[in-house]
Chain A
Amino acid sequence: MLREIGLGSADDLFRSIPADVILKRKLEVTAPQAEPEVIAGMESLAAKNSAAQKTSFLGGGVYSHFSPTIVDYLIQRSEFFTSYTPYQPEVTQGTLQYIFEFQTLVCQLTGMDVANASMYDGSTSMAEAFLMAQRVTRRDKVLVAETVHPEYIEVASTYTKHGDLEFDTLGFNSASGRVLEDDLAKIDDKTAALVVQSPNFFGCIEDLDRLAEKAHEAGALLVVVVTEAISFGMLKTPGACGADIVVAEGQSFGIPMSFGGPHVGLFACRDKFVRQMPGRLSGVAYDQKGNRGFVLTLATREQHIRRDKATSNICTNQGLIALAATIYMETMGKQGLQEVAMQNVQKASYAKKRIAELDGFEIAFDAPNFNEFVVRGPSEAEALLAKLSSEKRILGGVPVSKYYRDRPNDFLVCVTETNTKAEIDGFVDALSEIR
């Protein structure tokens, strides 16, 4: 081939690169490994993740849920996973149709009018919601509850620090764990959005109806953040409560925890804001013969058309993970999404009651919970949890002090449908023994 195009050697391929920037040595990476060697190397690394083998009550934005077997099988069809963004609709109808189904399901679960084809994750979805609220309202202040996932707040502050967006926080009621009523007075005619998470980082379910009312009174938007998507199967939808934008982490819909990614950000809003939305949208279109198909639409919002005036810089999103979530939602269906939500609530409620009965332990907040709640222990949570892990092989929760320094004894416990009664009982016994 080289000869045929008039070249003498492989080095000639790179003649257009100036000699002084050519790398004149081999890269210092491993020598090529054979398939069994690569597998062995990866198995050995994976084996060092002892946490992956323990009974776990970790939540806080990433959850252990059962995923029907067909989810991972179907996403491995070559036609899905080795396909590109569906820019050529005639040969990507499979992708475009599942995106359309994904958008529909997200609308049904959140109670919103329109949803996009996905964002990177819950945290970046929320950051984009801040920017969108600013565009929609032309106001420059966002009020965010302290009980929104702290890492989400960190991401949003990075995204917004070079715009003109001001950022203020709302505290929480130390008895209920919900947004502090008094702080709602901070909402004023400069507020673009009130941003709350429900269930919040402490697992407490917020009174969204009330918060929507307060936001709307001042002409602000209500942005609702959800990290535990399974809660959509039971809780009153943010849409029904009056939310204007809903952002969520979709990992609970059949996606492995995978050390934090890839997961999938859900993003939904009211119809009237659709042209201010970030991200891709799949919509119905017809060909000349009247066949129904789907295309990427309203692209004039996006970077490849609008460049520096685009609603977002996002291009690649989480396509295949959105597919996994779609398969999950459809397989579980109307009944399964409700049952799995119910099992989470019942199991968490059982664990909460049993832990509350233990000497030295109490439940930190009294608002209703979904599948997470904060336990206040008799001593520093970090040390207690470390002991629980080393002696009892149980990951008992996330120390709240990781994010809220003034709460040393608190830890966040998550109980899902994957935790059996025996595991919960074992956890409770272990807590009482090591305290």
Chain B
Amino acid sequence: MTIKKVTSHPSQNEALIFERSQEGRVGYRLPELDVDETGIDEIIPAELRRDDDLDGVPEVSEVDVVRHFTRMSTWNYSIDLGMYPLGSCTMKYNSRLNEKVARIAGFTNLHPLAPEGESQGALRLIYELQEDLAEITGLPGVSLQPAAGAHGEMTGVMIIRDALDEKFGEESKNRRVMLVPDSAHGTNPASASMAGFTVKTIRSTDEGLTDMEHLRELCDQGGIAGLMLTNPSTVGVFERNIKEICDTIHEVGGLVYMDGANMNALVGVARPGDMGVDVIHLNLHKTFSTPHGGGGPGCGPCCCTEELSKFLPKPAIVKDGERYRLDHDRPNSIGRVKAFFGNFGMMIRALAYIRTHGDTGLREATEAAVLNARYLAAKLEEDFERPFAPDPMHEVIFSHKRQSRKGVHTLDIAKRLIDYGFHPMTIYFPLIVDGAMLIEPTESVGRAELDDFVDAMKSIAKEAQEDPDLVIGAPHTTRIGRLDEATAARKPVLKWTPDMGKQAEAAG
């Protein structure tokens, strides 16, 4: 079987903008300067000014720029093009309505240092989103200041740190162990480390759940500050012992942090606050549909119990009668984690998502997301190894175990999926599964698309047996093939320079 290339790309050779630059071209126009001009030396002396005429900065026309970015955009896969089943990333549809309302001039033109009394709409919006997220998580203290998931994590573990320091005083120094499951996102241990904790890893059972025996053993060793737990776990399984896990940590004086990356499995169905969780972060750019934007911006609200709320970042946004205001008088706060109030534009979009879905729609979305993952689990387990038996929630994990016997690995399967018109799933994560393929369809695909995906995966499984080289050489349909990442890291070229072309030629 050979791949027939369906399209020949119209813009294979779109250069770097620097390579398109032509002396003297401009793509902008400002109004003429309308004030009396002063000699520049009188305002800013020459020794404080640059004298390089912005050497290297491109000179291009407006249409040059439009074509440049439009062409480059066609090299990207996107949610709007099709199913984007990245596990743990929740690539759901990003509504244009959310984009529209985030661009209302009364929001975009609002300066964060404008007087409170003249920013009441924005403060109220933040307050209302805080209230909704408190209800959804069952955790009444909310700060929207963190800019992304990892930032929310850092905020959460810093809250734990300060809470323990207050509760245990000097003794808190001997309590610096943060437990993190071996299946956790890399951000968890990295965030714990930023709050001054040392990380101990908890094993997972062969069902993909937290190993309770190991958890108790680690707790018995003492020094426990808390636990960072993703639930459903990163293998897509709900921690059915969640209450017992929380109790175990609480009994030794620790606090439980939940990574909310997988909240799309729970919204409207179960609340972390009801499970015994003390603090959680959400990813508005996952569960609440704000666009990923090729890597951001995100928004990583931190939600916590009433008891911990005094430690949340400041200023807090509070309601006083009919007025909304900033409360800076928060002596126990961990402090500020970001200038101003966070990624406000993302908050507008998330609130629009919540309002569009409403009480019933939020739950329906969760049901559809879980149903879709369960459907894939059922349809694909014939062809791919499912390492864990329990029913998956919103995402399902497979491994390359059966295909690797023929030399076809997870990376190959992922790349081959591109030829079938899908974005690959999350691969090699979590680390506890050899050759992991983590698939999260989200609620934004219908049955027909799921069936297409199932067909593609089954076809790849067949190819892996009958013509493994076809899979190993994938993708065959993209503008570029697999890139030599090892050389890229060994001899990093991280910016354009005028002699870049010659360097490449010399390197062959």
Residue B25 interfacial (CB < 8 Å): yes
Contact between chains at A331 and B28 (CB < 8 Å): yes
Given contact pairs A29-B358, A236-B47, A261 touches B343 in the complex (Cβ within 8 A):
yes
Out of A162, A330, A417, name the residue touching B58 (CB < 8 Å).
Answer: A330
Query: Is A137 at the interface (CB under 8 A from chain B)?
Result: no
The closest CB in chain A to the CB of B107 belongs to A46
Q: Among the listed B47, B80, B189, B193, which residue makes an inter-chain contact with A78, where contact means beta carbons less than 8 Å apart?
A: B80
Q: CB < 8 Å: which of B161, B242, B296, B361 contacts A320? A: B296
Cα(A41)–Cα(B100), bound, Å? 13
Interface string of A333-356 (1 = CB under 8 A from B): 111111110110111011001000
Segment with Cβ contacts to B, from A138-146, A166-174, A216-224, A252-260: A252-260
B359 near A31: Cβ-Cβ < 8 Å: yes
Residues of chain A contacted by B148 (CB below 8 angstroms): 120, 314-317
Q: Is the CB of B28 within 8 A of A154?
A: no
| Cross-chain contact A260 with B339 (CB below 8 angstroms) | yes
B275 to chain A, nearest CB (A): 5
A107-145: CB near B (< 8 Å → 1, else 0) gives 111010011011011111000000000000000000000
In the complex, the answer to whether B109 meets A52 with C-beta atoms within 8 Å is: yes
- Residue tally, chain A, CB below 8 Å to B: 198
A81 interfacial contact with B, CB 8 Å: yes
Q: How far is the CB of A224 from chain B (nearest CB, A)?
A: 13
**Nearest-CB distance from B9 to chain A (Å)?**
10
B371, CB-defined interface residue at 8 Å? yes
A330→B186 CA distance, assembly (Å): 35
Residues of the A chain whose Cβ atoms lie less than 8 Å from the Cβ of B295: 84-86, 95, 117, 280, 316-317, 319-320
Q: Residue A202 at the B interface, CB < 8 A?
A: no
Q: With A90-B480, A259-B119, A333-B25 known to touch, is A17 a contact of B194 (CB < 8 Å)?
A: no
Complex CA gap A163/B153 in Å reads 17
Q: Which B residues touch A30, using CB under 8 A?
A: 354-355, 358-359
Residue contact A389 to B118, C-beta cutoff 8 Å: yes
- Chain A neighbourhood of B192, CB < 8 A: 308
List the 10 closest A-B pairs by CB distance, nearest first.
A260-B340, A46-B106, A320-B293, A32-B358, A319-B295, A48-B121, A260-B112, A162-B196, A51-B114, A78-B80
Chain A's closest residue to B392 (CB) is A16
CB distance from B502 to the nearest CB of A (A): 13
- B355 to chain A: which residues have CB within 8 Å? 30, 32-33, 37-38, 41
> Does A154 lie within 8 Å of B336, measured CB to CB?
yes
Query: Is B481 in contact with A90, judged by CB distance below 8 angstroms?
Result: yes
CB <8 Å contact, A287 and B334: no
| Other-chain contact of A295, B354, B447, B479, B488 (Cβ < 8 Å) | B488
**B387 CB, min distance to chain A CBs, angstroms:** 16
Closest residue of chain B to A48, judged by CB? Answer: B121
Do B193 and A308 touch (CB < 8 A)? yes
Q: Which of A51-90 contact B (CB under 8 A)?
A: 51-54, 56, 58, 60-62, 64, 66, 68, 70, 72, 74-86, 88-90
The verdict on A32 contacting B360 (CB below 8 Å), with A43-B104, A60-B113 known, is yes
Query: Taking CB as reference atom, which chain A residue is nearest B391?
Result: A16
**Complex contacts, B504 vs chain A, CB 8 Å:** 284, 286, 292
Whether A420 sits at the interface, judged by CB under 8 Å, is: yes
Structural contact, A319 and B393, CB atoms closer than 8 A: no
* A:269-303 near B, CB below 8 Å: 274, 280-289, 291-295, 297-300, 302-303
Query: Other than the known A91-B75, A289-B481, A321-B293, what 15 A-B pairs have Cβ atoms closer than 8 Å?
Result: A16-B240, A47-B106, A60-B113, A79-B73, A84-B295, A95-B294, A124-B337, A235-B48, A237-B52, A258-B345, A262-B345, A312-B194, A316-B283, A318-B296, A369-B43
